[in-house]
A and B are shown apart, each in its own frame.
Chain A
């Protein structure tokens, strides 16, 4: 094998793949061939770099040069200028948006600074469909060491000492979970990987499975060895075709190389992995519901205890961990508990992957040490708010979490502080909102989601959330009364206290958080009948400013319901009873005569 001098890494994550990925890849390949460079320059399809906002993204290694928003026709220039002449193509270079401090900028992307990549260590670096690339990055070494030199209890002790906690949201100590499953004697046990990423706006599990499936497979095998399980199951969303495909390839390769199957690495340990498909139900992220779904039934949760560690899949002891949790395990085994626990805060060790989205400049995937502040995440790594708008709030923990505001910006992020601030870590979705977002509407958005996703088994969640949603709807439509705030609050507390599973218990969080931090917006909707952000349509009125109207009739022609009347060259009027507030007139008016109140 000749040593390649340069590598072109082409991001093949879902976001980038959707925009002309294949054409770019093929054009690069053709250009390399044209110049006889197939031997000296490597071309690799990798997974998500995390910079989804600027996709399609290409990195030239070892130069660490990022090209963003690359088009298929750029391939020639990249190969001729950069690969042959060694001159980066300036117009495609990654340029950061101005950040608040605005000091440094340039090629060394701020996006990558402050990040520590453990779970994402291989994402965007290796070809996920080639097991040899994983092996070359210490892949399966942890499994080898565990099987060779360590007892299951030694291994569990390392995980316990490392302080690793469940990355799916609740933060249960992983080592303890493994120990519980180990202590339950049974002839058959199961290791389950929860890849049913249901939080809308979170895509870290998908990216790990697309970018580094072997790390999850290796960790599942290690877990199987520790708890005494011979079988692993990955429960994955059917909506993630690319992740499923890569996982399948990885499992087959691992079997071929003897990392799965019988007598793994000449030990007496046997372990196999199968894939189970989800079918679109948020509640299946809850472990008991997930297990019922894997058994072919409705994904309804059951009371704990019994915990899955006692009686799980098919009634056997089962250990369920999230994708990101698993991805941390091999590194912890290799580098030790002490190293891992040196990162993070007192009670939350290591790093957390967040999916930054919403009104932020750098939408994408980041991995940061626990204890980093929201300010660093949003304004430094995230590059601040889009279009120079003002930061209003950030939602963490998805539909189960709450929003954090400007006063929380300097809060160190870990499991405990987020809960104390009225939100939660969740699976790691971070949706940033700016001044144009209405918080009442936002709470309603999540309640819409919960009402749709509630499995209907317990009354507080099925009916309580419906009532919450109706109250919010009433307020958004301008029919709210001040007592409704009290009602919202009381009902939320009841649901939290009495719902059966984690979904129900956390579903009122978005309501409570917005009530606590943005009570003034609720009051504006109720008392003044106004939506300060201008989102709630029912509370908006469209009017024509007489002085500005020239009578061009453009608005009247655009109005789909004939609510605008007026003769040519005369002032027009909008009939508020007919107006459906579609905004067509505002769009068409060239004289700023239409205003929204």
Chain B
């Protein structure tokens, strides 16, 4: 598990319990619960998983197994402006790799990491389905199409002040 230690506040524990309850504490709904909790907290640290396991009456190992199985779930907090570079096939053949390299170089972090100031994180995603705009980069909910390496600096600049 990740090394990050989080101390959950009482109201946060209540929030998680509330979400579990809204799905009837049904273990079959685990994935839906995780979606909802990640939507609220931004990520799923071990401590959060423990609360969910307790509520749904399943082993923590099962929750951890599901969280780590699916790429959508993350145990690490993302940056304030999460940068996702699409590395689907269409973007790949149109040069997504060089765009990704440029982001890594500019921000000095690797895929899956967050900058020290917590502003940016980089992740790869598989096909947002906007292949006509390849290569595609998303920053939060905003999509940038036909991105070339020399656009990278300007994109980062938009979020730097």
Spell out A's residues near B (CB within 8 Å). 14-15, 18-19, 51-55, 197-203, 206-207, 238-240, 276-282, 293, 295-299, 314, 355, 357-359, 363-364, 395, 398, 429, 431, 433, 437, 442, 445-446, 449, 455
Contact = CB atoms under 8 A, between A and B. Distances in A.
24 contacts: A15-B132, A18-B130, A18-B133, A19-B133, A52-B132, A197-B129, A201-B88, A203-B130, A240-B129, A279-B70, A280-B70, A281-B71, A293-B31, A296-B27, A296-B29, A297-B62, A298-B69, A299-B69, A357-B89, A357-B131, A359-B94, A363-B134, A395-B89, A455-B69
Given A200-B92, A200-B126, A277-B35, 7 more contacts: A206-B129, A207-B129, A278-B70, A296-B28, A299-B69, A357-B131, A398-B89
Given A359-B93, A359-B94, A431-B89, A279 B71 contact: yes
Contact of A239 (B66, B72, B131): B72
B152 interface: no
Interface string B24-54: 0011111110110000000000000000000
Contacts of B133: 15, 18-19, 52, 55
A279 B31 contact: yes
Nearest to B67: A279
Given A15-B133, A293-B31, A201 B71 contact: no
| 8 A-B pairs with the lowest CB-CB distances in the bound complex, closest first | A52-B132, A200-B88, A279-B70, A357-B90, A203-B129, A201-B89, A296-B30, A280-B71
A194 to B, nearest CB: 16
Given A55-B132, A357-B90, A358-B94, A238 B69 contact: no
Nearest to A18: B143
Contacts of B129: 14-15, 197, 203, 206-207, 240
B31 A296 contact: yes
Most A-side CB within 10 Å, residue of B27, B62, B88, B131: B131
B125 interface: yes
Contacts of A293: 31
Contacts of B89: 200-201, 357-358, 395, 398, 429, 431, 445-446
Contacts of B31: 276-277, 279, 293, 296
Given A18-B143, A429-B89, A431-B90, A277 B134 contact: no
Interface residues of B, number: 36
A200 B87 CA distance: 8
A299 B67 CA distance: 11
A544 B92 CA distance: 29
Contacts of B145: 18-19
Contacts of A198: 126
B81 interface: no
Interface string B54-72: 0000000010011001111
A52 B145 CA distance: 12
A533 to B, nearest CB: 11
B89 to A, nearest CB: 4
B131 A297 contact: no
Nearest to B143: A18
Given A296-B27, A296-B28, A431-B90, A15 B131 contact: yes
